[in-house]
Chains A and B, each alone.
Chain A
Amino acid sequence: MTQTDPRAGVGAVLRDLRERLPEHGLVTDPAQRETYACDGLAAYRVRPALVVLVESADQVAEVVRACSRHDVPFVARGSGTGLSGGALPHADGVLVVTSRLRTLHEVRPEDQRAVVDPGVVNLAVSRAAEPGGYYFAPDPSSQQICSVGGNVAENSGGAHCLKYGFTAGHVLSLEVVTPDGAQVTLGTEAPDAPGYDLLGAFVGSEGTLGVATRATLRLTRLPEDVRTCLAGFGSTDEAGAVTSAIIAAGIVPAAIEIMDALAVEAAEAAVSCGYPEGAGAVLVVELDGPAVEVEQELDRVRRLCAEHGAVEFRTAADAAERAEIWKGRKSAFAAVGRISPDYIVQDGVVPRTSLPEVLREMGRISAERGVRVANVFHAGDGNLHPLVLFDAAQEGATERAEEVSGMILDLCVAHGGSITGEHGVGADKARYMPRMFEPADLDTMQLLRCAFDPAGLANPGKIYPTPRMCGERPRVVHAADEPSVDGAEVF
């Protein structure tokens, strides 16, 4: 018997799960399900057919196995802060929410390792490691809420990944439930596990290869010294030039961030961060490491800023002042809400040396289309976060903003960059993948998907615009699994 009504599959999954999971983990009420309809990218909304609040890895495996049995898609969700619609639910599928999986199993400074559940919040790992002198280096601006599982799936970065690298470099091993419901360990607690680097391939796969149920993370030694400085410049060109000069001088700062005039204006309005008034661009540089090294580097950064015409240069004297400097930068996305009713957070990458040119071109597009664009970016690695401002109440404004947003990505690709540096492809950017990759590239990537998920049940529709057919796959149909098709709403 073939399934005709896709929701019937979910009905069968629910019946299976009622036998195996506690009722309180199964969310069937439509209004409650609706609260999971979007992640951090609210432009896309889909109400999932069923939400399961899992409480153990075994429960995750039960859910995935039930989905596999009944050919029902599933989507993992951590804290739902993703900005590319990666955790956008499937209307006829199950949403597996990890927010109850919040146990920090081990923190072992002597091994520089922490073992955590996927729902553990990013910052909680650092908090737990701090007394031992360590922290978890990947620090997305959303770190107070985003989950480790989400970080793993997105290969998240943050301001400090310039020096310390992305999540991929900080995960040693993962326990995962593969889309057929098997529980598998990838990697070992030590690096360089034998065999193919499936761990490396899983990180950044946006929930399309399975659900991570436990992660062994690398902890990084807290630096002896941290110095943060801020400089104001007449334009982003100058700030960009200093960035290149700092890197060329052989300095690898922990972070180099730039905000343009509009972003500074927004941040000022929102959190009164006290950035230099009237600056065309603000540069934030953080240096960390052994005190003697940091001291010398700070001197050189100060000199380079002066040489490039900095209008103001401040150095944070203590942790409170450092937090003050970061406040404006970290609140930038939300702050833009102060100067515009609606905005799109874009995420693209260009080679660092193309920054000035790309910013000028972006300015031209913005002027031409009459759409304001505020810029906040991880300048050290050329990762731009243009904020495209619009007012959805105005006719055609949304479309114009989306058009500009897409043109910015084209600009990134034309300069040899990427359509996403850290927010992922998700549902939002799958359509842009062909601008960056040839069909053969996308097909080849999906061979990996075929190995993990021949049935295409794990977070379908994300990353790749056109799913690859995986050839023959064995199908086991159990009589007991056959759905009973009834009314329109299964619950």
Chain B
Amino acid sequence: MSLEEVLGATCAVRPAGEEDEVDGVPAGVVARPASAQETSELMRACSAHGLAVVVRGHGSKLEWGRPPERVDVVLETGGMAGLVEHARGDLVATAGAGMPLTRLRHLLADAGHELVVDDLAVGRGADAAGSTLGGAVATNLSGPRRLRAGPLRDLVLGVRLVLADGTVARAGGKVVKNVAGYDLGKLMTGSFGTLAVVTEVTVRLHPEPQEVRQVHALVPRERLAPVLAHLVRTQTAPHVLDVHAVPGADAQVSVGLGGSPGSTRRRAARLAAELSSPGLVGSAEAVVAVDPERVTVEEITHVVPSAAEPWSTAEEVARRPTLLRVTTRLSGTAELVQVANDHGLTITGSAGVGVLRATLPEEAQVETVLGAVMAVRAATTRLGGSTVALDAPPAVKASLDAEGTWGPVPGLELMRRVKAQFDPGRTLAPGRFVGGL
């Protein structure tokens, strides 16, 4: 019996094509379950036949992590993409894992609500629809505005998931406050599809701010540390505090303020004045407060961080730079920026939380990239953080093993035990995650 025949009884299945490869690993079939029940039947069949399954949302970052050892089945979540509930008065929404974030945003907007995640993958690759909710959860997608609302992990209130053996389970709930039982939502967040298939997610929403305003500053290198130290302490309550630095140029610092109209204007003016002072940027010309008419709430997530993102335009998204997630203690951001730039990396991210992304162009020599990864990792380790090579061109990936990709992982032994409990047969994306899990 062919794979298609074996699995066809459980849900819609088609043969995989070249476009279904996962990081260079060819896939057998593509399965598209339409419900948790179908997902359960599919997973049970896959486990029984020892098939490896890779979950795919929109595939915008399917190659993140290590290439899977095998891909017998690509499990598409697109069949579970509905909005289950938008409890308006409660600021809570439940949707299928395949729900595109862009669509969710649209659906929530008429109530003046939003899920505060920044869909950094918008427009990447063939799929202009950006991330799915499940994909965002699986990768713990968190952009600049996590400074305001917390990372996605803190916004996930409940999950429905299907284990490799087909067990369907729920954890968490539909209310903001709930401490009944283990928080499996957090365990799933950032698990890269290696513990379970998430089929449904309940998230906490926030009211959209009435107005959003930005203050940008071009900061000379030697002033970056004091400027960031000032901004981290500012009493103007920024929603975004991002830094963007290209080797050889002044660093760009962007602050986003949200709130009621009169208030954001006064806070922006105050912040601009503070930043212009001699001890900080030292020049009023280098500090600009941007009018709210020029930024919509939607734009703030893209304008600020992606001004120079390598994948922000159509031709750029087709490219595959080396992409590192780098983290640091807050007082170490300026130092980390310097180390990254010294090694040719462009670095962008939240100086307010200490989570940034650093990139090297696709053309960079493998040796150069490996050297940069090591140097940056040494810096982040010293600064209380970590460096993960989320993605890289195939030649670079080939030279990075699991340890080179993920760096030192505190608690790795426990993680092995967790994986062994949730997915003892290594059905889900074998080899993709930390320690080769």
A interface list, Cβ under 8 A from B: 108-113, 133, 154-155, 157, 161, 165-166, 168-169, 173, 178, 182, 184-198, 200-201, 203-205, 221, 223-224, 244, 247-248, 250-252, 289-290, 292-293, 296-297, 349-353, 378, 381-383, 416-425, 429, 433, 436-438, 440-445, 447-452, 463-464, 470
Most A Cβ at <10 Å: residue of B183, B235, B262, B414: B414
B interface list, Cβ under 8 A from A: 87, 89-92, 112, 140, 142, 150-151, 153-154, 161, 163, 167-171, 173-184, 186-187, 189-191, 195, 206-210, 229, 232-233, 235-237, 259-260, 262-263, 266-267, 325, 327-332, 353-355, 380, 383-386, 388, 406-407, 409-415, 417-422, 433-435
Closest residue of chain B to A110, judged by CB?
B331
Of A203, A292, A382, A443, the contact of B267 (CB 8 Å cutoff): A292
The reply to whether B89 and A417 form a contact with Cβ atoms under 8 Å apart is no
The reply to whether A417 and B169 form a contact with Cβ atoms under 8 Å apart is no
A125→B40 CA distance, assembly (Å)? 46
Instruction: Write out the residue numbers on chain B whose beta carbons fall within 8 Å of the beta carbon of A433.
Output: 180-181
A363→B264 CA distance, assembly (Å)? 44
Closest residue of chain A to B266, judged by CB?
A292
The reply to whether B154 and A168 form a contact with Cβ atoms under 8 Å apart is yes
Instruction: Write out the residue numbers on chain B whose beta carbons fall within 8 Å of the beta carbon of A424.
Output: 179
The reply to whether A420 and B171 form a contact with Cβ atoms under 8 Å apart is no
Of B183, B262, B410, the contact of A296 (CB 8 Å cutoff): B262
A443→B174 CA distance, assembly (Å)? 20
Q: In angstroms, how far is the closest chain B Cβ from the Cβ of A265? A: 26
Closest residue of chain B to A224, judged by CB?
B235
Instruction: Write out the residue numbers on chain B whose beta carbons fall within 8 Å of the beta carbon of A290.
Output: 235-237, 259, 263, 267
Of B150, B161, B433, B434, the contact of A165 (CB 8 Å cutoff): B150
Q: In angstroms, how far is the closest chain B Cβ from the Cβ of A387? A: 18
Q: In angstroms, how far is the closest chain B Cβ from the Cβ of A310? A: 20
Instruction: Write out the residue numbers on chain A whose beta carbons fall within 8 Å of the beta carbon of B355.
Output: 190-192
Query: Can you show 24 pairs from A to B with CB atoms below 8 A apart?
Result: A110-B330, A110-B331, A154-B179, A165-B150, A168-B186, A186-B410, A189-B384, A190-B328, A194-B434, A201-B186, A203-B183, A204-B182, A221-B235, A250-B207, A290-B235, A351-B174, A352-B90, A381-B175, A382-B175, A437-B180, A441-B170, A441-B181, A447-B421, A451-B417
A483→B183 CA distance, assembly (Å)? 38
Instruction: Write out the residue numbers on chain B whose beta carbons fall within 8 Å of the beta carbon of A378.
Output: 177
Q: In angstroms, how far is the closest chain B Cβ from the Cβ of A344? A: 18
Closest residue of chain A to B156, judged by CB?
A200
A109→B330 CA distance, assembly (Å)? 10
The reply to whether A192 and B142 form a contact with Cβ atoms under 8 Å apart is yes
Q: In angstroms, how far is the closest chain A Cβ from the Cβ of B176? A: 5
Known contacts: A190-B355, A221-B233. The answer to whether A353 contacts B190 by CB under 8 A is no
Instruction: Write out the residue numbers on chain A whose beta carbons fall within 8 Å of the beta carbon of B329.
Output: 111, 113, 189-190
Of A184, A244, A383, A452, the contact of B89 (CB 8 Å cutoff): A244
The reply to whether B177 and A198 form a contact with Cβ atoms under 8 Å apart is no
Closest residue of chain A to B186, judged by CB?
A200
Instruction: Write out the residue numbers on chain B whose beta carbons fall within 8 Å of the beta carbon of A191.
Output: 151, 327, 353-355
Q: In angstroms, how far is the closest chain A Cβ from the Cβ of B272? A: 15
Instruction: Write out the residue numbers on chain B whose beta carbons fall within 8 Å of the beta carbon of A297.
Output: 260
Closest residue of chain A to B207, judged by CB?
A250
Of B89, B236, B259, the contact of A248 (CB 8 Å cutoff): B89
Instruction: Write out the residue numbers on chain A whose beta carbons fall within 8 Å of the beta carbon of B386.
Output: 188, 190, 192-194
- Known pairs A195-B411, A441-B170 / 20 extra A-B pairs, C-beta < 8 Å: A155-B183, A161-B177, A166-B177, A166-B179, A185-B411, A190-B384, A193-B327, A194-B434, A195-B410, A196-B187, A196-B411, A197-B187, A201-B183, A244-B89, A250-B207, A351-B175, A353-B89, A381-B176, A417-B175, A418-B173
**5 closest pairs, A vs B, by CB?**
A200-B186, A189-B384, A190-B385, A190-B327, A444-B169
The reply to whether A111 and B331 form a contact with Cβ atoms under 8 Å apart is yes
Of A244, A420, A448, the contact of B180 (CB 8 Å cutoff): A420
The reply to whether A417 and B412 form a contact with Cβ atoms under 8 Å apart is no
Q: In angstroms, how far is the closest chain B Cβ from the Cβ of A224? A: 4
A134→B267 CA distance, assembly (Å)? 20
Closest residue of chain A to B157, judged by CB?
A418
The reply to whether A349 and B177 form a contact with Cβ atoms under 8 Å apart is yes
Instruction: Write out the residue numbers on chain B whose beta carbons fall within 8 Å of the beta carbon of A203.
Output: 183
The reply to whether A448 and B388 form a contact with Cβ atoms under 8 Å apart is no
The reply to whether B89 and A192 form a contact with Cβ atoms under 8 Å apart is no
Q: In angstroms, how far is the closest chain B Cβ from the Cβ of A353? A: 4
Instruction: Write out the residue numbers on chain A whose beta carbons fall within 8 Å of the beta carbon of B206.
Output: 252
Instruction: Write out the residue numbers on chain B whose beta carbons fall within 8 Å of the beta carbon of A111.
Output: 329-332, 384
